[in-house]
Amino acid sequence: MKKGRVFFHPIEGSGALTISWTSASKGDAVEAKKGSGVGFFSESGELLCVIFDEVLESQDQQTLKFNHYRVEIDVKNGKVDYSVMNTQQNLVPSKKHSKPKSKNSRVKRRPGIKTRF
């Protein structure tokens, strides 16, 4: 995911905060499953934009959770840091995808003991 553009213009210490990853039209808003805000997604489900409803300028930490994405912000003195996690890609790999064992890992030899095959 490319770097997003952050729009945050607080009035009297707080305001909405927007992070956008595209300049294309956004479509319908989807309410976050957790957190106070909305997200906009492409037809294929890619995250296009998020809007946090009420963010404090002095210091704030918030998270928006959607079906396949989690967006976290950390605001300190008006400076915004954010992270995006695609929760669909962070699945536990099956045994098929694990690293194969080396041929030498089947038999462990101790020094001084001969092993017959």
Range of the domain at 53: 5-88
- Of 17-21, 32-36, 106-110, the range with the lowest mean pLDDT is 106-110
Contact 50, 16 (CB under 8 A): no
Give domain status of residue 38, yes or no: yes
Give domain status of residue 96, yes or no: no
Residue 91's region, left for phi above 0, alpha for psi from -120 to 50, else beta, is: beta
Greatest mean pLDDT range, 11-20, 22-31, 87-96, 104-113: 11-20
Contact 53, 24 (CB under 8 A): no
Contact 7, 23 (CB under 8 A): no
Give domain status of residue 34, yes or no: yes
- Identify the CA nearest to 37 among candidates 19, 25, 22, 23: 19
Give domain status of residue 61, yes or no: yes
Give domain status of residue 99, yes or no: no
Domain count, the chain: 1
Give domain status of residue 103, yes or no: no
Give domain status of residue 52, yes or no: yes
Give domain status of residue 102, yes or no: no
pLDDT above 90 coverage of the chain, percent: 57
